């Protein structure tokens, strides 16, 4: 059991990774359905890797340099619009959670623990050291 935990720790994905994957698949699906982008109208004829690249790029730029979804089926445009609004919300929630964790009062309490000695163990060396301190 110890070996597994040392080398294969449990991954806690939380809700952000599945959300990011779903948003990526929404954008890719919309582009594969034939939706075009106002600033990149030639994306309709691009290969799947190019469409995947633009789908990932929506996380960074949020669609500002790609333009808005135009043409194609309504479902594809809807999937892209969900992605256009979902990616910035996902990024903002990540930043807000990081700020909350950083400014947490429990984190600041640990900074007040200066000039303390922490002794871990239960062997003879630990007992000898504790007797020397007393």
Query: What CATH number is given to the structural domain containing 51?
Result: 1.10.287
pLDDT one-digit tens code per residue, 64-117? 778 889 999 999 999 999 999 998 898 889 889 888 888 876 666 666 666 777
Q: Confirm whether 97 is domain-assigned.
A: yes
pTM of the predicted protein model: 0.67
Q: Confirm whether 20 is domain-assigned.
A: yes
Q: Confirm whether 8 is domain-assigned.
A: yes
Q: Confirm whether 73 is domain-assigned.
A: yes
Structural domain boundaries enclosing 87: 2-105
Q: How many domains does the chain have?
A: 1
> Residue 75: what pLDDT?
96
Q: Confirm whether 96 is domain-assigned.
A: yes
Rounded-to-integer distance, Cα 121 and Cα 99, Å: 35
Q: Confirm whether 133 is domain-assigned.
A: no
Provide the 8-state DSSP code for 11.
P
Rounded-to-integer distance, Cα 7 and Cα 95, Å: 30
pLDDT one-digit tens code per residue, 21-33? 999 999 999 999 9
In sequence order, which ranges of 33-133 are alpha helices (DSSP H)?
Answer: 48-61, 74-102, 105-111, 124-133
Q: Confirm whether 71 is domain-assigned.
A: yes
Q: Confirm whether 122 is domain-assigned.
A: no
């Amino acid at each position: 059991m110890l070996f597994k935990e040392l080398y294969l720790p449990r991954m806690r994905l939380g809700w952000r990774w599945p959300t990011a994957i779903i948003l990526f698949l929404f954008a890719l699906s919309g582009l594969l359905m034939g939706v075009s982008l106002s600033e990149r109208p030639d994306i309709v004829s691009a290969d799947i890797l190019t469409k995947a690249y633009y789908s990932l790029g929506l996380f960074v730029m949020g669609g500002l340099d790609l333009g808005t979804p135009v043409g194609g089926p309504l479902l594809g445009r809807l999937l892209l619009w969900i992605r256009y609004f979902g990616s910035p919300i996902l990024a903002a929630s990540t930043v807000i959670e990081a700020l909350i964790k950083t400014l947490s009062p429990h984190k600041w309490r640990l900074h007040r623990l200066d000039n303390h000695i922490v002794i871990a163990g239960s062997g003879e060396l630990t007992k000898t050291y504790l007797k020397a301190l007393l």
